[in-house]
Amino acid sequence: MQRFQCYINGEFADGEARFESIDPTTGRAWAEMPEAREADVNRAVEAARIALHDQPWSTLTATQRGKLLYKLADLVAENAGRLAELETRDTGKIIRETSSQIAYVADYYRYYAGIADKIEGSYLPIDKPDMDVWLRREPIGVVAMVVPWNSQLFLSAVKIGPALAAGCTMVVKASEDGPAPLLEFARLVHAAGFPAGVVNIVTGFGPSCGAALSRHPQVDHIAFTGGPETARHIVRNSAENLASTSLELGGKSPFIVFADADLESAANAQIAGIFAATGQSCVAGSRLIVEKSVKDRFLQILKSKAETIRIGSPLEMSTEVGPLATERQCNHVKALVARSLAAGAKLVTGGTAPEGAGFYYRPTILDCDGSASPSLENEFFGPVLSVLSFETEAEALHLANDSRFGLAAGVFTQNLTRAHRLMKGIRAGIVWVNTYRAVSPVAPFGGFGLSGHGREGGLEAALDYTRSKTVWLRTSDDPIPDPFVMR
């Protein structure tokens, strides 16, 4: 069995215990992972705290930090194939997707490499004649990064990249489900030449490892991606250290199709939006809201596309839908489909698991018109689409916003003015018009409502890893006059 290690203070080390990682195609263990507990977490945070204030990291210029990030980007690009295979092996996400996504992760590091020496302070036009006042932008400090199992290299890159650009140090907690790619990525951090303690990567379980990390007194900021329930633990933990938080949580994203849309193109985007990554994407377009006059036609196109999707081994380039990452996830999908059917949703296609081993589930479409299906409110994080129809634009907007989540939305229409109205009216952090699930290092993402707060990607995210320091310099050589007046 392959064995992985944590990366703490520039060294590869076992954790206090070990656990087995499960291959989602067979349900059997394929690798042994280090389990970091409180003592390991403490060592990692202490290393990050020392590295933050000590040489060489604290005295590197921003340009030098950028050069290290460029080196890391090159290493990610060179090793993308190997990392992709590990992620596919450990999480079941199809190789077709992991190989292209991880190659693109290199561009995220490159983007933040370029930003490192563009994080500028400012000079304040102060209202006093004998003072120069300016704002310095300083690293926010030691950052705890807690990520889920899906797209771990992507979801950590949007934290590690900007945090390094800003001069922070960090402890990254890989998910206990599928940590292999992130633990392997630690070897690239090491090879790139980052000083010991700047980036520490551990894995372990939420209540022991994640909790110890997020409430650690030496942590200044917690960057979290995961489910809303876990986010509540993170926020409670942050009451211990008063760390700031950024939360990237789940979604129940609407995908709106008007009758005037190019239905073939919209159907391909909807298939990608809900069945890519076996639906295990936070931005999955999981609520189809389709104009009534084209509902039957559109569902027919979707049904025939869904039924010809190639389900199989995620390591095969031809596979389009692989297994869910964990048995727990698969059971959650099965149970929520059953509850939705019991509540009156009608099965258009799917709704079963294929025969054989592994955590597979067929691409599924539920027609939820006229029912109070729980699938309309609850995230599956799996390959299940819930469908509703509308007759007016106002009704479409109302249905789109009828959710506690607000992460992403898609609008398909040829009508430009309508697209603008919806784009403004939808309460979500990302609106895609006539496309879906497009991402870029340049474009921030993040949520409204239960989908969290804070933005990842883009320039703004790098600024979020800094805080300002106001510096006052008196420019007069005269002695300070009357000490008992405010100046």
Ligand X SMILES: CN(C=O)/C=C(\CC(=O)O)C(=O)O
Ligand Y SMILES: NC(=O)C1=CN([C@@H]2O[C@H](COP(=O)(O)OP(=O)(O)OC[C@H]3O[C@@H](n4cnc5c(N)ncnc54)[C@H](O)[C@@H]3O)[C@@H](O)[C@H]2O)C=CC1
User: Would you state the structure tokens that stand for residue 41, as one six-digit string?
Assistant: 């977490």
Q: Does 182 bind ligand Y (CB under 6 A)?
A: no
CB nearer to ligand X: pick between 361 and 445? 445
| 393 close to 372: Cβ distance less than 8 angstroms | no
Residues 6+ apart with CB under 8 A from 179: 4, 21, 33, 90, 149, 152, 203
Q: Does 149 bind ligand Y (CB under 6 A)?
A: yes
Q: Does 35 bind ligand Y (CB under 6 A)?
A: no
The HSE-up count of residue 164 (CA atoms within 13 Å, CB side) is 35
Q: Does 25 bind ligand Y (CB under 6 A)?
A: no
Q: Does 121 bind ligand Y (CB under 6 A)?
A: no
Q: Does 220 bind ligand Y (CB under 6 A)?
A: no
Residues 6+ apart with CB under 8 A from 312: 318, 319, 322
Q: What phi and psi values does residue 245 have, to the nearest 5 degrees?
A: -135, 150
Q: Which of 274, 271, 272 is nearest to 285 (CA)?
A: 274
Instruction: Report the nearest approach of ligand X to the CB of residue 459 (Å).
Output: 16
Instruction: Report the nearest approach of ligand Y to the CB of residue 462 (Å).
Output: 17
Q: Does 214 bind ligand Y (CB under 6 A)?
A: yes
CB nearer to ligand X: pick between 60 and 182? 182
| 303 close to 365: Cβ distance less than 8 angstroms | yes
Instruction: Report the nearest approach of ligand Y to the CB of residue 14 (Å).
Output: 19
| 381 close to 149: Cβ distance less than 8 angstroms | no
Catalytic hit among 248, 291, 379, 456: 248
| 179 close to 103: Cβ distance less than 8 angstroms | no
Q: Which of 175, 209, 160 is nearest to 45 (CA)?
A: 209
The verdict on whether 85 is a catalytic residue reads no
- Binding pattern for the stretch 274-313 against ligand X, x by CB under 6 A and - elsewhere: ---x---xxx------------------------------
Q: How many other CB atoms are there within 10 angstroms of residue 93's CB atom?
A: 30
Rounded distance, CA 290 to CA 282, Å? 21
Rounded distance, CA 478 to CA 475, Å? 9
Q: By CB under 6 A, what part of segment 408-467 binds ligand X?
A: 437, 439, 445
Q: Segment contacting ligand Y (CB under 6 A): 140-148, 192-200, 263-271, 348-356?
A: 140-148
CB nearer to ligand Y: pick between 148 and 181? 148
Q: What angle (nearest 5°) sits at the alpha carbon of residue 443, between those of residues 438 and 445?
A: 80
Q: Which of ligand X, ligand Y, none has residue 439 at its interface (CB below 5 to 8 Å by kind)?
A: ligand X
Give the SS3 label for residue 443.
coil
CB nearer to ligand Y: pick between 177 and 320? 177
Rounded distance, CA 211 to CA 443, Å? 31
CB nearer to ligand X: pick between 34 and 447? 447
Instruction: Report the nearest approach of ligand Y to the CB of residue 378 (Å).
Output: 10
CB nearer to ligand X: pick between 57 and 111? 111
- Binding pattern for the stretch 405-424 against ligand Y, x by CB under 6 A and - elsewhere: --x-----------------
Instruction: Report the nearest approach of ligand Y to the CB of residue 175 (Å).
Output: 4
Q: Which of 116, 102, 218, 196 is nearest to 162 (CA)?
A: 116
Q: Does 234 bind ligand Y (CB under 6 A)?
A: yes
Q: Which of ligand Y, ligand X, none has residue 373 at its interface (CB below 5 to 8 Å by kind)?
A: none
Q: Does 379 bind ligand Y (CB under 6 A)?
A: yes
Enumerate the active-site residues.
248
Q: Which residues bind ligand Y (CB under 6 A)?
A: 146-150, 155, 173, 175-176, 206-207, 210-211, 214, 225-227, 230, 233-234, 248-251, 282, 379, 381, 407, 447
Contact residues: ligand X, CB under 6 A: 150-151, 154, 277, 281-283, 437, 439, 445
